[in-house]
Amino acid sequence: MLVDQFGREVSGVRVSLTDRCNFDCVYCHNEGLGDTRGPMDARDDEMSTDDVVRFLEVAREFDVEAVKFTGGEPMLREDLEEIVRRTPDGMETSLTTNGTYLPDRAPDLVDAGLDRVNVSQDALDQEAFAQVTQSGEYEAVIEGVEAALDAGLQPVKLNMVVFEQTAGYVPEMVDHVAENDGLQLQLIEYMPELAGRPEWAVDIQRVHDWLEEQADHVEQRDMHDRRRYWVGGRPASASSGASSDADSESDDDAGGMVEIVDPVGNADFCANCHRVRVTHERYLKGCLNRNDDLRSMGEMSKVEIREAFRETVHERVPYYGEYMIKDDDGEWTINEEYIGV
């Protein structure tokens, strides 16, 4: 397994299959782009099926254990099932999607070998959902979550970006996952450094504090120093109170769990990142949040992929706390040491 200059092993890759999306979420800086008529073959500027598989084969050579397929909306790729099926043995496969195409495709994805799915869902109210996503596909998303559960993709993790427009919906989303078997919730901290609109940011610590009051059990994960809050559906074998070790596999499959993804307010988050990103345009990047560290994989030969992968891992830098540092006023600013890297 390759290790970067900060001692972080790269155990996972996140592969964007397209920048196209049938949603245009108000908080997103890179969705709603391109042709969104529906699932189709890879476009000229997107990695082909063979390109993706060849990259994954090289990643597996370096002992990468997991791949997450993302977009845009990855289910706009007609070949998604084939890509999942051809993923090398020993790599866990997961998918982040808005869920609109899951009703028809969830069983085939499971048959192809998909292990896990995250579905973006920012509200339970249809009108509120439409305001955030600029989409009228609320019912399709709800059906998609049910289809994923029925196909055996449990737990289904619901991704909710927490910012000014959605913060008020957090309590009902927490109740929703507590009351429905097989659902978990990831509350994702809004990052104004990427999406702009700093006035939309909320104090994520207040969300932590509220959840701690609601939770039956609280755990601290080693990975990314994240906290897990078990509400309602906590496994009966667990004891109450806080725990410092929450990385056991048995807990990963239980419903009623809420986790906050808080890279801005969590000093250890980026310092414990173990993923390399891949863009749909055949570039590697050491950090999801940066666009100035792109490294081409050329014509996608295995030799070119290996070289680019090694160089990308070597040059990785934690985003918050290293690439982005706080100035005298406590504001995040780019560390001049990395300008032009």
Give 33's pLDDT tier (boundaries 50, 70, 90).
low
* pLDDT one-digit tens code per residue, 100-159: 999 999 999 999 999 999 999 999 999 999 998 888 899 999 999 999 999 999 899 999
**Does 273 belong to an annotated binding site?**
yes
Cα–Cα distance for residue pair 314/65, rounded to 1 Å: 19
pLDDT at 241: 44
Residue 176 in domain: yes
The domain of 292 spans 6-235+253-338
**Does 145 belong to an annotated binding site?**
no
**Does 84 belong to an annotated binding site?**
no
The answer to whether residues 333 and 325 touch, using CB atoms and an 8 Å cutoff, is yes
- The reply to whether omega before 233 is within 30° of 0 (cis) is no
Annotate 276-299 with b (16+ C-beta within 10 A) or e (fewer).
bbbbbebbbbbbbbbeebebebee
Per the confidence metrics, is the pTM higher than 0.85?
yes
Work out the angle at residue 77's Cα, subtended by the Cα atoms of residues 280 and 131, and round it to the nearest 5 degrees.
Answer: 90
Using N-to-C axis directions, what is the helix angle for 49-61 and 302-314, rounded to 10°? 60
**Does 275 belong to an annotated binding site?**
yes
Residue 201 in domain: yes
Q: Is 30 exposed, middle or buried (0-12, 13-18, 19+ CB in 10 A)?
A: middle
**Does 264 belong to an annotated binding site?**
no
Q: How far apart are the first and last CA of the chain?
A: 24
Per the DSSP assignment, residues forming a β-bridge with 186 are 159, 259
**Does 234 belong to an annotated binding site?**
no
**Does 8 belong to an annotated binding site?**
no
pLDDT at 30: 56
Residue 240 in domain: no
Residue 247 in domain: no
Residue 1 in domain: no
Which conformational region is residue 222 in: left (phi greater than 0), alpha (psi within -120 to 50 degrees), or beta? alpha
The answer to whether residues 291 and 306 touch, using CB atoms and an 8 Å cutoff, is no
Token pair, residue 64, equals 């990468």
**Model confidence at 203: pLDDT above 50:** yes
**Residues ≥6 apart with Cβ < 8 Å to 283:** 294, 295, 296, 297
**Does 141 belong to an annotated binding site?**
no
Most confident of the ranges 124-128, 287-291, 328-332: 124-128
**Model confidence at 63: pLDDT above 90:** yes
Residue 243 in domain: no
**Does 206 belong to an annotated binding site?**
no
Q: Is 249 exposed, middle or buried (0-12, 13-18, 19+ CB in 10 A)?
A: exposed
Residue 246 in domain: no
Cα–Cα distance for residue pair 113/125, rounded to 1 Å: 32
pLDDT at 194: 64
**Does 333 belong to an annotated binding site?**
no
CATH of the domain at 206: 3.20.20.70
The answer to whether residues 74 and 18 touch, using CB atoms and an 8 Å cutoff, is yes
* pLDDT one-digit tens code per residue, 7-30: 999 999 999 999 889 888 888 765
- Structural domain total, the chain: 1
**Does 341 belong to an annotated binding site?**
no
**Does 86 belong to an annotated binding site?**
no
Counting residues of the chain whose pLDDT is more than 90, the rounded percentage is 54
* pLDDT one-digit tens code per residue, 241-271: 444 444 443 345 556 899 998 887 777 888 8
